Amino acid sequence: MEIDGSGAIVGGGASGLGAATARRLHAHGAHVVVADQNVERGTILVDELGERATFVATDVTDPDAVQAAVSAATEQPVPLRIAVSCAGIGWAGRVIGRRGAHALEPFETVIRVNLIGTFNVMRLAAAVMAENEPNAGGERGVCVNTASIAAFDGQIGQIAYAASKGGIVSMTLPAARDMAPFGVRVCAIAPGTFDTPLLAALPEDAREELRRVVPFPSRFGRPEEFAALVAHIVGNEMLNGEVIRLDGALRMPPR
C-alpha cells in the first residue's frame, strides 16, 4: 500500500508513538487525521504539520466519537486506507495486594481504552476501507494496532495492562482473516520500553532499571522507530495477521 496519496487516521495520535506515526505518514504524503482526547497537543501537532493534517477530538471508547473521526478522514480528497491505533493507558496493581483484591474499575477502564478503543478504531475504519477501489495488488487498506511485550512478559502489577495488550495480540490473526476477502490487512506492533509520556511518568530509578535490562541497544526505543515500522508494514503487503515485537531483544523479568 502506498502511503503517498492515502488517507490515514491515527488513534491516540497527539503524543508519543501516535504523534511520531502521524508525522511519519504525513511526511510520506498521507492526509492524516489525528484522533485524540488531548485537544491542546492535537491542535499543536496539526498546526506543525500544516496542510493534509486534521485534528478531531476523540475518545476512542466512544463509537460516535470514533465514527466522527473516521468520517473526517473520508472527507479528505484521498481514500482512507491506513488506520493506526496508539491510544493507551496503564495502571499498576496486583491481583491481590496489601489492600486486598485488585479494584475492578481500573481494570475495566484499562481494558476499555486499550482493547475496546483499539477495536473501535479498527472496525469503523475497516468498514470504510472495504468500500475502496482496490489497488493493483487487490489491497483496500491496512490496520496497524499497538500491543506491547507486556502481552507476553507481563510483570508483577501489570495484570490490567497485560490483559488489554494480550487481547490486541489475540485479535490480530482473526481480524486479518475476517478482512482478507476485502483486501484489508491487519498487523500489530508489540513495543518494548519506549520513551513515551506513559514511561516518563515512572520514577527515574525505575526508568534507569528498565533501560539497563534491554540487551541491545541498551536504551529506550524512540517513537520514530515505532513509526518507521508502521510505515514498513503499510508498504509490505505480505505482512498480514502478524504481531511484531520491537524491543531490542528484551524479555521482561517478573519485576
Catalytic residues: 161
Rounded to whole angstroms, the maximal C-alpha distance in the chain is: 59
51 sits in the region (left: phi over 0; alpha: psi -120 to 50; else beta) called: beta
237 sits in the region (left: phi over 0; alpha: psi -120 to 50; else beta) called: alpha
Cβ-contact 93, 106 below 8 angstroms: yes
Name residues whose C-beta falls within 8 Å of residue 194's C-beta, 6 or more positions apart in sequence. 16, 17, 220, 221, 222, 223, 225, 226
Cβ-contact 134, 79 below 8 angstroms: no
Cell 481494558 -> residue: 111
Cell 493507551 -> residue: 88
Q: Which of 128, 104, 118, 145 is nearest to 182 (CA)?
A: 128
